[in-house]
Amino acid sequence: MIFDIITIFPHIIEEYITQGIVRIAQEKGAVEINIHDLRKWTDDAHKSVDDTPYGGGPGMVMKIEPIYKALEELKTPNSIVCITTPKGEQLKQSKVKEFSQVKDAHYIIICGRYEGVDQRVHENLVDFEFSIGEYILSGGELAALVLVDGITRLLPGVLGNEKSLESESFDNNEELDYPQYTKPEVFNKWKVPEVLLSGHHENIDEWRRKKKVN
Ligand code: SAM
């Protein structure tokens, strides 16, 4: 699977993808992640990626030309072009799972900034517009990373213990995972539930089933 992320803040992405599971996934060859500075596709001295909005109003809008050129260079027949926007489909685990199962997938993710991106990009150049929740962030980089991380950890061979994927929250009927505890048994008088210390697997399974929340 390949991700190409287009951003004006490459370092934000770089920092995250060189840590944890996402780093390991790249090392294992399960995923390739390329970061692109949108300014690479500008041709003026100031490397402008934004301009004032038609019709007036506050702030700046991301221009279509650099994004168009970037896609011209990066797109392949397998590409699914995604854009981050609070107005898009709210990302759910079911969608992340679906995306993780697309064969030879190539996701291009455009990270918005400023007041957003020229609407003609949304209407003509994009396959999937997504939001990570009902709040406004200053840019799409965190949303892009949410998509990359969510998909990457589901790819075969990425997690050391794939059993952890079996009972995760939002997986079956959107139910939430059971509570987890680790050592010590007692901390500040707060005890681990007795049943988890019993070694009785049937009782433990039963307790966990009950503790899952719909
Ligand atoms: N003016 C826009 C609005 O009210 O819908 C908000 C623009 S926001 C300041 C700048 C960029 O951050 C957006 O274009 C989008 O790419 C990204 N962004 C902000 N909130 C987001 C969210 N909840 N999900 C996904 N992307 C988001």
**Whole-number Å distance between alpha carbons of 181 and 199:** 14
Q: Where does the pLDDT of residue 163 fall: very low under 50, low under 70, confident under 90, or very high at 90 and above?
A: confident
User: Is the separation of the CB atoms in 118 and 157 below 8 Å?
Assistant: no
Tell me which H or E stretch contains 210: helix 201-211
CATH code given to domain 2-152 = 3.40.1280.10
Identify the pLDDT of residue 172: 66
> Which residues are paired to 61 by β-bridges?
51
> Which ligand 1 atom is nearest residue 110's CA?
16
| pLDDT tens per residue, range 174-203 | 789 999 999 999 999 999 999 999 999 999
Task: State the chain's mean pLDDT as an integer.
Answer: 96
CB 30 within 8 A of CB 2: no
Amino acid at 163: K
- The residue contributing the CA closest to ligand 1 atom 10 is 113
Residue spans per domain, the chain: 2-152, 178-211
- At residue 89 the predicted structure's pLDDT band, cuts being 50, 70 and 90, is very high
pLDDT in tens, 58-81: 999 999 999 999 999 999 999 999
pLDDT over 90 for what percent of the chain? 92
Q: Whose CA is nearest to atom 5 of ligand 1?
A: 86
Long-range contacts of 162-170 (CB under 8 A, 24+ apart): 167/208, 167/212, 168/93, 169/93, 170/92, 170/93, 170/94
Residue 7's pLDDT is 99
Q: What is the mean pLDDT of residues 77-97?
A: 98
Beta bridge partners, 110, equal 6, 83
Residue 170 Cα, ligand 1 centroid: separation in angstroms? 24
Task: Enter the pTM of the model.
Answer: 0.95
- The rounded distance, in Å, linking the Cα atoms of 103 and 101 is 6
Q: Which of 67, 85, 122, 135 to probe ligand 1 with, by most ligand atoms within 8 A of CB?
A: 85
**Residue at token pair 């993808």:** 17
Q: Is 72 helix (H, G, I), strand (E, B) or coil?
A: helix
Distance 140 CA to ligand 1 centre (A): 6
Would you list the DSSP string of 111-131?
A: PP-TT-B-HHHHHHT-SEEEE
**pLDDT band for position 173 (50/70/90)?**
low
Pocket of ligand 1 contains residue 140 by CB under 6 Å:
yes
pLDDT of residue 164: 76
Preceding amide of 184 cis, omega within 30: yes
* Spatial distance between the Cα atoms of 90 and 134, rounded to a whole number of angstroms: 8
How many CB atoms are closer than 10 A to CB 206?
A: 12
- Separation of CA 138 and ligand 1 centre (Å): 6
CA of residue 205 to ligand 1 center, whole Å? 42
Estimate to the nearest angstrom the gap between the alpha carbon of 163 and the chain centroid: 21
Domain spanning 178-211 has what CATH number? 1.10.1270.20
Q: Ligand 1 pocket check: which of 87, 121, 137, 148 to mutate, most ligand atoms within 8 Å of Cβ?
A: 137
Is residue 7 lining ligand 1, measured as CB closer than 6 Å?
no
Residue 119 near ligand 1, beta carbon < 6 Å: no
The single residue listed with the structure tokens 């988890």 is 196
Instruction: Give per-residue pLDDT as tens, 13-60.
Output: 999 999 999 999 999 999 999 999 999 999 999 999 999 999 999 999
Minimum-distance ligand 1 atom for the alpha carbon of 111? 16
Query: Is 126 a residue whose pLDDT tops 80?
Result: yes
